[in-house]
Structure 1
Amino acid sequence: MNSESLAHVASARAHRDLSDLARQGVGGISSGASTRERIEEARRLRVLANELVDLVVLGEVLCGASWEEITQALHRRDAGTVQAEYEDAVREWEATPAEAFDGLDGDARDLDAWYRQHREDTDPPAEDPVFDLL
């Protein structure tokens, strides 16, 4: 395993967490929450979505995607600016200590089980999409 795998599993976790939080928002829409509570919940979704984008970018960089390609996908203009925003995080992920991979197989299996439980007919039919990365 390598830092690419770790980044992909982390992005899968973020996808799951974002999905769960969004579903809770639908379930609680008539709960009588205050204006502040509804806005704070929506802000948590936005923060998590931004974290998800960052994790996906890290995974793509670690897999060898070019900064130009990433910049285009982010709908940004300057690859140098995008690279500068992410280069410290990329270095940190590249220097991931071996113990960070302990339990990654179990995390992947848990995420795959969550996916199978929540999968809709229109979702990709993969049985073990996260574990298959490892």
Structure 2
Amino acid sequence: MTPEILARIATARAARDLSDLARQFVATTAQPASPADRIRRARELRELTNQLVDLTVLAESFGGASWEEITEALRRRDPGTVRQEFAADVAEWGGKSEAELEHGAAGYEALDEWYARHREDQDPQVSTPVADLRNRH
């Protein structure tokens, strides 16, 4: 297990949570709610989206992407600033022991089950997209 694989599993969890929350948001479209409640739910979606982006950056940095590539993908200007913004997370995740990495990945199989339940025809036809990470070297 590597920090990259754990970050990719965490990214998959964030994507699942975002998808579930977005579906719930659609389901409540016709329900009476205050403007504050609707805005709060939309902000939750934004916060989860930001978390998904941050976890993706972390995974890509561990996967070998340069800070120049990451900065360009984020549509930012200064790789040094972006690297500094993520420095604490990179250090934290990079310093995890094997036991901590394994513990953080626990339950990853549920993500494959979730994907199988929600997969539609236009989605990639893979059966274990997250478990396949565990087979990477």
Normalised-by-shorter TM-score class: over 0.9
Does residue 1:93 correspond to 2:93, yes or no? Answer: yes
CA distance in 1, matches of 2:64, 2:131: 21
Gaps of 5+ in 2: none
Q: CA deviation at 1:99?
A: 2.7
Q: Deviations over 1:52-74 (max 9, x none)?
A: 10000000001111001001111
Which portions of structure 1, spanning 4 or more consecutive aligned residues, are displaced by more than 6 angstroms?
A: none
Does residue 1:102 correspond to 2:103, yes or no? Answer: yes
CA contact (8 A) 2:7 2:58 kept: yes
> Could you tell me which residue of structure 2 aligns to residue 17 of structure 1?
17
Q: CA deviation at 1:103?
A: 6.9
Question: Which secondary structure state, in structure 1, belongs to the residue aligned with residue 91 of structure 2?
Answer: helix
CA distance in 2, matches of 1:76, 1:54: 14
Q: CA deviation at 1:26?
A: 0.4
TM-score (normalised: structure 1): 0.95
Give the percent of matched residue pairs that are identical in Structure 1 and Structure 2: 53
Does residue 1:64 correspond to 2:54, yes or no? Answer: no
Question: Which secondary structure state, in structure 1, belongs to the residue aligned with residue 37 of structure 2?
Answer: helix
CA contact (8 A) 2:68 2:79 kept: yes
Q: CA deviation at 1:23?
A: 0.2
> Could you tell me which residue of structure 1 aligns to residue 112 of structure 2?
112
Q: CA deviation at 1:113?
A: 0.5
Q: Deviations over 1:10-61 (max 9, x none)?
A: 0000000000000000001111121111100000000110011000000000
Gaps of 5+ in 1: none
